Amino acid sequence: MKNLILAAGTLLAVASCTTTKTYTILAKSGTETQGTAKFTQKNGTVEMDLNAYRLKPGTHAVHIHEFGDCSSDDAKSAGGHWNPTKDGHGKWGTGQYHMGDIGNLIADKNGTGRVIFKTDKWCIGCADASKNIIGKSIIVHADRDDYKTQPTGNAGGRVGCLEIK
């Protein structure tokens, strides 16, 4: 009987197959940005839950950038927007947009903001380079994404950076 229960438990673990990774946001460009982003992959969908603190109150663009390298003070080491499909910059889900065009986060009067973003166009560590977010970075910007200006959305400097590894 004990063996049966163990076998059932093993099957359940295989079937749900959830991957979770949590990373810390590093302050950049002389700011005090703090926060975390948690990525959960389940049933072919990746959900990002990003919580940022100590931002300037207002709207801040959030993107996936092409290199998982936050080493420079201005976070330019992270490169441009992650764009495996070679499309124009834009608003996720409408017309052309980059795979990294997550959108905008609104920081409240305390500088706290949250974005929950879910898509089946990303994966965590799969073989498809057009979906795999490992080796990329998340950038939180000083300004809002206007969803138009090429190729950046005119989002200003980089106040937070996180390496997805």
Active-site positions read: 63, 65, 81, 89, 98, 101, 141, 158
Using CB under 5 A as the binding rule, whether residue 136 contacts Zn ion is answered as no
Measured from the CB of residue 138, what is the shortest distance to Zn ion in angstroms?
A: 13
Using CB under 5 A as the binding rule, whether residue 63 contacts Cu ion is answered as yes
Which residues, in sequence order, are CB contacts of 28 under 8 Å at separation 6+?
A: 70, 73, 74, 75, 158, 159, 160, 161
The structure tokens listed for 163 are 């390496």
**CA nearest to 159, candidates 24, 28, 34:** 28
Taking CA atoms, 17 is separated from 11, 14, 93, 127, 136, in Å, by: 10, 5, 27, 16, 23
Using CB under 5 A as the binding rule, whether residue 136 contacts Cu ion is answered as no
Based on CB atoms, which residue is closest to Cu ion, 63 or 144? 63
Using CB under 5 A as the binding rule, whether residue 98 contacts Zn ion is answered as yes
Quick one: which segment of 4-12, 34-42, 55-63, 127-135 binds Cu ion (CB under 5 A)?
55-63
Please say whether the beta carbons of 36 and 48 come within 8 A: no
Question: Residue 115 — φ and ψ, nearest 5°?
Answer: -125, 130
# of chain residues touching Zn ion (CB under 5 A): 4
Based on CB atoms, which residue is closest to Cu ion, 63 or 136? 63
Based on CB atoms, which residue is closest to Cu ion, 99 or 139? 139
# of chain residues touching Cu ion (CB under 5 A): 2
Residues that bind Cu ion (CB under 5 A): 63, 139
